[in-house]
Amino acid sequence: MAIKDWLPAAVRAAATERRLTAGEALFRLGDKTAGLCEIVAGRVRLARVDRDGHEIVLHVAGPGDTIAEASLFSPQYHCDAIASTDAVVRIYPKRAVLSAFDRDPKAALAFSATLARQVMGLRTRIEQRNIRSARERVRNYLALNAGADGRTVTLTGTLKDVAAELGLTHEALYRTLAALERVGEIRRAKHMITVARPRRV
């Protein structure tokens, strides 16, 4: 769900861009909230620092992700945002966003819709993490990401990325895929995995 699909053009035009070097803070806990933030390039992590000075990562956002949605409704940030790599972000001023929502209920609803969709997706991912077995987790992933035919999954990124999304080490993923291919449950091609025998348990 890209920003441009729901944020009015007028608001998008009001955005400012900012460049961050690795380790630089986009904002800190307690700062006055500026607005919605879209990651254009690089990685930005949201984190809190506990009493021990230990950093607790809440989320890692990459290109296309938005962060600080909740900041629209809060005067201060509730955590730190630190660039993990050199990064470029685009900031949509809070006031512009909120007033657009106020004037245009459609836009507000569209925003709600994207959030509701995000909630769905995140809940699905959490449920996926409850699966212990690497094999089952991969099966789940394939079933959930299968295309229209219900059998073919097109890989957007690298297998390493998939492994991270699944919460597995890349080695474990490679092995599991190899094992599934060995028993004929899947077939693999470049950037594509096909489940060989649907309709089976």
Partner DNA sequence: CGGCGTTTTGAGAGAGCTCAACATCGGTGG
Partner DNA sequence: CCACCGATGTTGAGCTCTCTCAAAACGCCG
* Chain positions contacting a second copy, by CB under 8 A: 46, 48, 50-54, 56-60, 69-70, 72-73, 78, 98, 101-102, 105, 108-109, 111-113, 115-120, 122-127, 129-130, 140, 143-144, 146, 150-151, 167, 195, 198-201
Q: Shortest Cβ distance from residue 123 to a second copy (Å)?
A: 4
196 binds, among a second copy, DNA, none (CB under 5 to 8 A by kind): none
CA 198/CA 43 separation, integer angstroms: 37
Please name the residues in contact with 73: beta carbons below 8 A apart, sequence gap of 6 or more: none
Q: Shortest Cβ distance from residue 157 to DNA (Å)?
A: 8
Q: Shortest Cβ distance from residue 143 to DNA (Å)?
A: 17
- Residue closer to a second copy by CB (options 19, 28) is 28
Q: Are strands 44-49 and 80-83 parallel, antiparallel or unpaired?
A: antiparallel
* CA neighbor of 114 nearest in space, from 101, 130, 102: 101
Q: Name the residues that contact DNA, by CB under 7 A.
A: 132-135, 158-160, 167-172, 174-178, 188
* CA neighbor of 10 nearest in space, from 134, 97, 119, 139: 97
- Residue closer to a second copy by CB (options 73, 190) is 73
* CA neighbor of 38 nearest in space, from 22, 62, 58: 62
159 binds, among DNA, a second copy, none (CB under 5 to 8 A by kind): DNA
- Residue closer to DNA by CB (options 104, 185) is 185
Q: Shortest Cβ distance from residue 166 to DNA (Å)?
A: 9
CA 83/CA 194 separation, integer angstroms: 37
Tally Cβ neighbours within 10 Å of residue 125: 14
Tokens for 147?
Answer: 């295309």
- Cα 184 to chain centroid distance, Å, stands at 32
- Residue closer to a second copy by CB (options 85, 128) is 128
- Residue closer to a second copy by CB (options 51, 182) is 51
